A = this chain, B = another copy of it.
Amino acid sequence: MDKSQINIGVIGFGTVGAGTVKILSNSSREIEQRLGFPVVIKRIADLDIKSDRGVSLEKGVLTSDVDVILNDPEIDIVVELIGGIRPAKDMVLKALRNGKHVVTANKALLAEAGKEIFRVAVKNKKQVGFEAAVAGSIPIIKVVRESLIGNRINSIYGIINGTANYILTKMTEEGVEFASVLKEAQDLGYAEADPTFDIEGVDSAHKLTILASLAFGIPLSFKKVYTEGISSITPLDIQFAADFGYSIKLLAIAKRVENELELRVNPAMVPKDDLISGVNGVFNAIRIDGDATGDALYYGRGAGDIPTGSAVVSDIADIARLIKSGAAERMTMPGMAEDNGLQIRKMEDIVTCYYLRLSVMDKPGVLSLISGILGTHNISISSMIQKGRRREKAVTLVMMTHVAREKDMTEALKKITRMSFVSGRPVMLRVEGGEI
């Protein structure tokens, strides 16, 4: 293959599409210098070919017919940036079958239909780049697949949804309720009209599915990810967390424990001496412990048109280099997951420390009864705060436990909730992280 340039077709001219096109246009000279050849945007397809995206394009580049891209024999790389599963999946599969390499930022697509996509890619000897699908500008896919190739990875955890982190940060800084921060974030365009994926942890679970597959050599296991969001977090719990020396963060967690893999997304209490606890606003951060590297942390912008576009462009450049050197069809994608038999740990079997908040009647003997129930389930309290003193009225009891098994905690909480002196549902948060 000796082409003078690499031609790309972009499907989806929304936020990330426009960011990608801006970088490729504005930095075309630098990219050509670094690669040794030009990357040319031959076509961009979108249903909306009227709106101004702040980039000037040559005439005829924009099309509303995606098949113009998928059937163009001169296009080497198709960049899929429309998101969602349908119709993105059909377009990606058609591109691969038509002999095109694919770059995508579509985490939902890969988490839920990646198996088929990678199978078709391998069969057609095509590359699929997806750096932009996880943690935006943080090159975590490349790090896991290439830089850590000599490592057995023990754990990966971090903040991989900027919207949720923005909301938690605002709640922490301003002491306001979840609902009002969400509304503000929606008004500012930081959260979508339907924010479910971001705030209920689904988006984090999609990304964790991809990361865990690469890092631990397991199949894509989206349905096995335990997923809990942040909509029930209150400013009160954030304040208590701070009193105990923690921040509350929505974490995606994958870690080896006794020949099984914990795989979960949940709001967690992160101690202040863990750098993750200080990651605020829309930023993402991922902490990886490899057996050779030890602890490492990667921090950067996880979303946004230009940061995510930067990751898309790095994938385009990697594949373009392979095409130019004749290796794109000979090199299998590095580190794609084979099933190595590692089992996903059942949620009831995980062992961690817990934060509990209860509303209880302030009267003698209550604490003894609660700690008694916890004790019979092998749960011991490491510290405790009772807020206020209101004899025979409801007061707030907050406690941190030593390590306990989730199953024990669930059963103990069931019993505690049934006690007459307990009102409302107890709040339970898991603790994660530590000194770095």
Q: Could you tell me which A residues sit within 8 Å of B by CB distance?
A: 19, 23-24, 27, 30-31, 33-36, 131, 137-139, 142-143, 145-152, 217, 275, 278, 290, 292-301, 304, 306-307, 309-311, 313-314, 317-318, 321-322, 324-327, 330-332, 334-335, 338, 436
Q: What 6 pairs across the A-B complex have the smallest Cβ distances?
A: A150-B313, A327-B327, A296-B300, A325-B327, A139-B147, A292-B310
Given known pairs A139-B143, A294-B300, A296-B138, the reply for A338 and B306 (CB within 8 Å) is no
- Across-interface contacts of A35 in B (CB, < 8 A): 149, 334
| B324 A137 Cβ-Cβ under 8 A | no
| A301 B296 Cβ-Cβ under 8 A | yes
Cα-based distance from A318 to B148 in the complex (angstroms)? 11
Count of this chain's copies in the oligomeric assembly: 2
| A146 B142 Cβ-Cβ under 8 A | yes
Given known pairs A147-B142, A150-B27, the reply for A306 and B292 (CB within 8 Å) is yes
- Across-interface contacts of A147 in B (CB, < 8 A): 131, 139, 142, 310-311, 314
By CB atoms of chain B within 10 A, which of A138, A292, A314 has the most?
A292
A-B contact pairs, 30 of them (CB 8 A): A27-B151, A30-B152, A31-B149, A33-B217, A33-B338, A34-B145, A34-B149, A36-B332, A137-B294, A138-B296, A139-B146, A146-B318, A147-B314, A149-B314, A150-B309, A150-B313, A150-B314, A150-B317, A275-B275, A292-B310, A293-B300, A293-B306, A294-B307, A295-B301, A296-B300, A297-B297, A321-B331, A325-B325, A325-B327, A325-B330
Residue of B nearest to A301 (CB): B294
- Across-interface contacts of A27 in B (CB, < 8 A): 150-152, 292
| B296 A137 Cβ-Cβ under 8 A | yes
- Across-interface contacts of A295 in B (CB, < 8 A): 300-301
Given known pairs A139-B147, A149-B317, A331-B327, the reply for A293 and B275 (CB within 8 Å) is no
- Across-interface contacts of A24 in B (CB, < 8 A): 150
Partner of A149, one of B296, B313, B338: B313
By CB atoms of chain B within 10 A, which of A293, A306, A318, A332 has the most?
A293
| A292 B150 Cβ-Cβ under 8 A | no
- Across-interface contacts of A145 in B (CB, < 8 A): 34
Residue of B nearest to A294 (CB): B301
Cα-based distance from A3 to B145 in the complex (angstroms)? 23
Cα-based distance from A35 to B333 in the complex (angstroms)? 9
Residue of B nearest to A137 (CB): B293
Distance in angstroms from A329 CB to nearest chain B CB is: 9
Distance in angstroms from A374 CB to nearest chain B CB is: 35
Known: A34-B149, A150-B313. 4 other contacts (CB 8 A): A35-B334, A131-B147, A149-B314, A297-B297
Distance in angstroms from A158 CB to nearest chain B CB is: 12
By CB atoms of chain B within 10 A, which of A30, A149, A278 has the most?
A149
- Across-interface contacts of A137 in B (CB, < 8 A): 290, 292-294, 296
